[in-house]
Structure 1
């Protein structure tokens, strides 16, 4: 008998989560950590990146402002920074940070390629224009993944933040004249 009693094909359970740095992906990452703890599974944080304009544009462009290596480094920095900010004390489970080139939905579905995986994605509120211009990663994963997919709704604070941002976009410039007036000393 060998030194290991485990079956040779025994695999560790995995929770795969899409990480982009967005508020929705941060919420999904927190939920994925909880699921990994509950399932005693490894956490696979995946960030998929592409050159701006897509792969076809990158091949055609003769002189891109940033080389592919620069875009990859930016993606790596985003992945590491997001993990560190969301999980400052670490996840408490084995973590694999995966950087892959390609579309996010496809990269996530291909990474979570086992029936016993759990794929966690953020499912944000999207307007009609955004939906028309940018395909939904969560919809792609729901349609193409071979494992269960957990679509995590956005944090309620995300809607409040977006509303505050919309209000502030239309506000006039801040009048700073009252900040520059010299303070008068109190009467003694």
Structure 2
């Protein structure tokens, strides 16, 4: 694995961490809260966003309008069983999710969840670094690259690792501000 491949993979890890952050509630309605909700549709787990139009008409409401009206109850059940923590309200045409204001305890829980996601991202980046480092050392041992080239590559790899770890730390700081903002 070359350094540019490592950088690309590290960037994907950062993007994955960002998507995980998007599923954490902040007190404002956000359609990405429902990204992980799967609906049992005709016996197949299907992503909610492919079954319905999800909008946020105001800061405290998420409106879900299914493309197939017969799936309304299935969607309602899936949301109730998910870990979103919101109670769906079915009016026969659409489902509304009211986003209540977060308590300070709930905000602290969400900050902990965000920290967990950030740590998973950092671990992913360190794993990428470890794999590339192993490759560099094998190449040096096999005589494919010199000791100096090996040291240079290892230094560049460490700089890449630091850069992407800092990006995750920055995303975490932003998410924590967002969660704690009343």
Same fold per TM (> 0.5)?
no
**What TM-score results when the alignment is normalised by the length of structure 1?**
0.27
**What TM-score results when the alignment is normalised by the length of structure 2?**
0.28
Higher relative helix content = 2
